[in-house]
Amino acid sequence: MRSAVLVTGCDSGIGKEFALQYAAEGRSVVATFRDLANSEGFPEGIRCYLLDVTEPSHFVALKEEIGDLPIDVLLSNAGVGLDIRKLGDLDFSYVHRMFEVNTAGPLRLVETFVENVAASRQRRIVSITSRMGSISLNLSGGHYGYRASKAGLNAIMRSLAIDLFPRGITVASIHPGWVDTAGGGADGGAIAVGDSVAAMRRTIAGLGNHETGQIFDYRGTPIPC
């Protein structure tokens, strides 16, 4: 059975670019979407499925669809941000949603598909994180929900790296840089999404088991927790 790359959050931006670049490379790609209408126009060779990472039933349905398909790279990209409210005016319902999507969603993804990863040759699990989740690099404050949700994601990925190391699975988190996408802020970002994704793909391809549990920027430079 031919192995695949599974990418979440392919509705736009980074996730979409990952799916397209991997497909252009000749890889078998499973792309997931919060709104399946956003898969319109994707190449026919990309397998497109519905997956809202806050909906447990979507994970069950996707697992049933792909069965025992080996997954070389399980790429958790789906996320929400734009956490701009200040202390005294916080939207706690949105803070809660950030934890659901950015922290719990990736963990459920791994729990659902870890056996598919273990059955593959490359055995890589990667999450798209942010340097804003680094506690030691936080010198500007604010962004409480987003920072905490990404710090939590980094902690989860570290634990997964320890737990899955005996199975030969390499786990890593990657900061994509300030990318020119809708999530990159009102003024866009300095890095073209295609350039960021191409660099992240090189970083993912070059990961060694001795690097499991680490956080990197898109060029492969380690980032402190």
Question: Domains (ranges, CATH) in the chain?
Answer: 4-217 (3.40.50.720)
Q: 101 with 83: CB under 8 angstroms? A: no
How many other C-beta atoms can be found within 10 angstroms of the C-beta atom of residue 119?
A: 15
- Going by their DSSP bridges, the two strands 170-175 and 215-217 should be labelled as parallel
Instruction: Return per-residue pLDDT of the chain as tens, 225 residues.
Output: 799 999 999 999 999 999 999 999 999 999 999 999 999 999 999 999 999 999 999 999 999 999 999 999 999 999 998 788 899 999 999 999 999 999 999 999 999 999 999 999 999 999 999 999 999 999 999 999 999 999 999 999 999 999 999 999 999 999 999 997 665 544 555 899 999 999 999 999 999 999 999 999 999 999 998
Q: Model-level pTM?
A: 0.94
Q: Catalytic residue positions?
A: 146, 150
Euclidean distance between CA atoms 46 and 21, whole angstroms: 11
Secondary structure (3-state) at 185: coil
- The runs of H, that is alpha helices, within 67-135 are 92-98, 105-118
Residue with tokens 């979407």: 33
Max Cα separation, the chain?
54
